């Protein structure tokens, strides 16, 4: 089912792109495929980014709630849930987007592995309309002519470290993938000047100080900035560099998209902060203040009259 619903459509889209682009270069096809996937997922990604941006901006309110709760976990949880509800934010709002991205990545891995291990699958695993494309028809008779490189420079079937030895062009792609993932994670991290590291939190807890769950979670999240790139480095160093190319390009597009959305959010917040009250608001404010003053005078005069009567 996974093959039919995920792997085969991704595989055929890759073959279709390869057949259409001039030169039929596999590396260029992966880049085009990556950009198309990122833009197809843009609505979901944008929602995820707005969610992450909103969570970043809520850090001062979350800290205020912790102080008000004064260690009462139930009260703190209720106040946090009320804050999330007020802002229209779900703590797990970005989970769906992450799952979809993981499924696409997994499907692409199997599609690339099938294409790399057996180039004849380009014909055999393709849908009937794809097989009727002239380039695919020609390839059926001479599968060995399939260009598995990126512009003839990087062999995308080779891993950075394999039985064939160390392949530095693939290793550069692996390093690039890890770096863009680190940069991408750092963009979305909540920033707080007085945040403690997980090591410091555990040290304080050992000395008898109670550890705050929210602070622990934030510290763990900050640690993933290094954990995920390290995992990418560890796992992809032995995989075909085609996957590293996808991850690298996907990360570059993601950084561009995130920069745009986060900048828009900051500009909107600054505009709201700098917005001057309108004449209507000023007049309404004066009316409310005047009415309040009249009410106070009326109450004062009533009080004096009652005093005289007494």
Tens-digit pLDDT profile for residues 21-65? 988 898 999 999 999 988 888 887 777 777 766 776 777 787 788
Report helix angle 168-188 to 42-57, nearest 10. Answer: 50
Q: Give the pLDDT band (50/70/90) at residue 178.
A: very high
pLDDT at 159 over 70: yes
Does residue 279 surpass a pLDDT of 60? no
pLDDT of residue 179: 93
The region that residue 195 occupies, defined by phi over 0 for left and psi between -120 and 50 for alpha, beta otherwise, is: beta
Tell me the pLDDT tens digit for each residue of 265-275.
666 555 544 55
- At 30 the pLDDT is 92
Q: Which pLDDT does position 249 carry in this prediction? A: 93
Say which range, 33-47, 69-83, 128-142, 263-277, has the weakest mean pLDDT. 263-277
Residue 180's pLDDT is: 92
Mean pLDDT of 83-95: 69
Higher pLDDT, 176 or 141: 176
- Confidence (pLDDT) at 205: 58
Q: What is the mean pLDDT of residues 285-291?
A: 45
More confident residue, 127 or 293: 127
pLDDT higher than threshold 60 for residue 196: no
Look at 105 and 181; give whichever has higher pLDDT. Answer: 181
Examine the pLDDT at 12 and tell me if it is beyond 90: yes
Per the prediction, the chain carries an average pLDDT of 76
What per-residue confidence (pLDDT) applies to 208? Answer: 60
pLDDT, mean of residues 157-170: 91
């Amino acid at each position: 089912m996974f093959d039919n619903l995920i792997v085969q459509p991704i595989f055929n889209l890759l073959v279709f792109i390869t057949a259409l682009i001039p030169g039929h270069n596999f590396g260029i096809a992966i880049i085009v495929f990556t950009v198309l996937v990122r833009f197809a997922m843009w609505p979901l990604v944008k929602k995820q980014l707005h969610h992450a941006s909103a969570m970043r901006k809520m850090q001062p309110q979350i800290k205020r709630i912790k102080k008000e709760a004064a260690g009462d976990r139930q009260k703190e949880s209720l106040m946090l849930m009320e804050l999330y509800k007020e802002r229209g934010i779900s703590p797990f709002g970005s989970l769906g987007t992450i799952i979809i991205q993981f499924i696409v990545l997994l499907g692409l891995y199997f599609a690339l592995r099938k294409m790399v291990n057996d180039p004849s699958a380009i014909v055999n695993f393709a849908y009937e309309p794809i097989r009727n494309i002239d380039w695919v028809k020609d390839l059926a008779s001479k599968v060995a002519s399939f260009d598995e490189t990126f512009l003839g420079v990087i062999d995308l079937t080779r891993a950075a470290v394999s039985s064939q030895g160390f392949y530095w062009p693939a290793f550069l792609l692996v390093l690039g993938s890890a770096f863009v993932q680190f940069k991408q994670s750092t963009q979305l991290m909540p920033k707080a000047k007085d945040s403690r590291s997980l090591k410091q939190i555990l040290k304080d807890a050992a000395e008898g100080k109670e550890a705050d769950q929210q602070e622990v979670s934030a510290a763990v999240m900050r640690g993933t900035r290094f954990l995920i790139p390290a995992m990418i480095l560890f796992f992809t160093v032995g995989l075909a560099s085609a996957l590293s190319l996808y991850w690298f390009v996907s990360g570059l597009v993601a950084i561009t998209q995130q920069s745009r959305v986060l900048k828009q959010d900051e500009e909107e917040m600054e505009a709201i902060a700098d917005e001057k009250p309108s004449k209507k608001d000023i007049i309404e404010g004066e009316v409310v203040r005047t009415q309040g003053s009249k009410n106070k005078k009326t109450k004062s005069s009533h009080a004096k009259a009652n005093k005289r009567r007494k």
